[in-house]
Structure 1
Amino acid sequence: MKPLFLFRLILDLLTVSLLLAAFAYDWFGNAAHEIIGTLMFVLLISHNIFNRRWYGVVANGWQEPRSVFSKTITLCLLVMMVGLLATSVIISQTVFDFLALRSSFTARQIHALIAYLVLLIAALHLGLQWSMIMRVIGQALQVETNTRIPTATLRGLAFLIALYGFQSLFVIDIGPKLRLETTFSFWDFEAAAVEFILRHAAIIALCVMIVHYSLRLLSFYRRYRRAPGITE
């Protein structure tokens, strides 16, 4: 494994970790929230620099279903990230306070909406690369994942985490947030700070599993259609 590739993977995982931390606004406070968000955007800029070749080929390969799916998710994530950055600057009270922009309750609601859309879409984007990530981690830890017992164990664990993530969608009340509804349910960080992070991480895992296994089913289907004797 090339050191640069491993470095890029660590930066990407750190970016996801900062995204998770940014949701704990009521725990860290506004100043820490803005600093965490700023660091996340710095890492996102580095991510785009490392993957700048993607912009040169984004117009190609729209006839292939997997390519269409992958590029659509990535473009949606790019748009949402721009929106998240714009609303962050508008409502900033610390990092960009010198700009003296006028904030509002609606702007903060839109910021929260986009933040959760980013969480979901970023998880889908992560799912596109999950096979590669697991292969790299397996090589780094020298773990053999091609045998039946480790594979079955990991899949069973992934299924349980996905169930926890599905339940967390309702516990976190993501639905009302995506509908811009005002709710009066607040998370008690003094009693369950770790659970808050775990539930958001489980939601990411759920989206990763959905994309990962959807791509596997698509691959199986394509091989089936190409098998001898299979006609339209």
Structure 2
Amino acid sequence: MKMKIKTAADILMTAALPVLMCYSIVGETAHEVIGIAMFGLFIAHHIMNFGWIMSLFKGKYDLRRSVNTAVNALVFLCMIGLMYSGIVISKHIFTFVNIGGAMTARTIHMLCAYWGFVLMSVHLGMHISQMAARMKLKNKALIWSLRIVFGIIGAVGVYEFISLKFADYMFGKVQFVFIDTSASAVLTTLQYLSVMVLFAYVGYTLQMLLKRNNKTAVQ
């Protein structure tokens, strides 16, 4: 039962990611609601993985474990930054909170949103093998077909990464995110989804390389 809940939470968080990125089209109220739900799922995810948290200060850290822990820590920082800044700049749900520093919070929110999107996608990719095992995907033909399909989507993601100016937002070159509100919500979500698949593929490849490095080190 716990494993089913974990899988459901992971799927919902994955689905929410690209939707949250096109907030201007989805609507500000919906964006805030989905953001709160995302943070709740994130907390639930960590509660269900409490054993991993407790093991952080135990055992040795090889390269694979160090990279995994670093990615997880950065994702955690981005989520905290998003929740804090989201509360500060909220126009609907948290209007009763008056902390101040809205301009700084907007910058934090944008940086954490884009870095968080990339890092969460990498994190997802690094755990694809585990998710496949949970879903009992063992058919080699199906697995290779999925790799090819996601590889093609990831290739589209390279174009969309450039088109959506991810690098400019990630490194603070642009202060305000521009989204064409006249564009199709579905199409825009698919654009961000392709970028997510791109970095999930990066995470998957990184994990495979780290696993191979560990086997070589043991030998």
TM over 0.5: yes
Change (3 A) 1:100 1:7: same
Q: Deviation of residue 144 (structure 1)?
A: 4.2
Task: State the one-letter code of the partner of 1:98.
Answer: F
Across the aligned residues of Structure 1 and Structure 2, the Cα RMSD in angstroms comes to: 2.2
Task: State the one-letter code of the partner of 1:133.
Answer: M
Q: Which whole-Å CA distance do the structure 1 matches of 2:138 and 2:53 have between them?
A: 35
Task: State the one-letter code of the partner of 1:120.
Answer: V
User: What TM-score do you get using the length of structure 2 for normalisation?
Assistant: 0.89
- Which has the higher Rg, Structure 1 or Structure 2? 1
User: What TM-score do you get using the length of structure 1 for normalisation?
Assistant: 0.84
Q: Tell me, which stretches of 5 or more residues in structure 1 are unaligned?
A: 228-232
Q: Which whole-Å CA distance do the structure 1 matches of 2:70 and 2:17 have between them?
A: 21
Match of 1:145 in 2: 139
Match of 1:124 in 2: 122
Match of 1:213 in 2: 205
Q: 3-state DSSP class of the match of 2:93? A: coil
Q: Deviation of residue 156 (structure 1)?
A: 1.9
Change (3 A) 1:206 1:62: farther
Q: Which has the higher contact order (CA 8 A, sep 6+)?
A: 2
Q: 3-state DSSP class of the match of 2:152? A: helix
Q: Which whole-Å CA distance do the structure 1 matches of 2:49 and 2:207 have between them?
A: 22
Q: Which whole-Å CA distance do the structure 1 matches of 2:164 and 2:156 have between them?
A: 12
Kept in 2, the 8 Å contact 1:62–1:68? The answer is no
Alignment of 1:90-101 (within 5 A): 90-101=88-99
Tell me the matched-pair count.
219
After superposition, the C-alpha distances for 1:79-102 in whole angstroms (9 at most, x for unaligned) are 111111111111112111111232
Which is further off, 101-110 or 118-127?
A: 101-110
After superposition, the C-alpha distances for 1:88-130 in whole angstroms (9 at most, x for unaligned) are 1111121111112325334212211111111111111112211
Alignment of 1:22-33 (within 5 A): 22-33=20-31
Match of 2:151 in 1: 159
Match of 1:134 in 2: 132
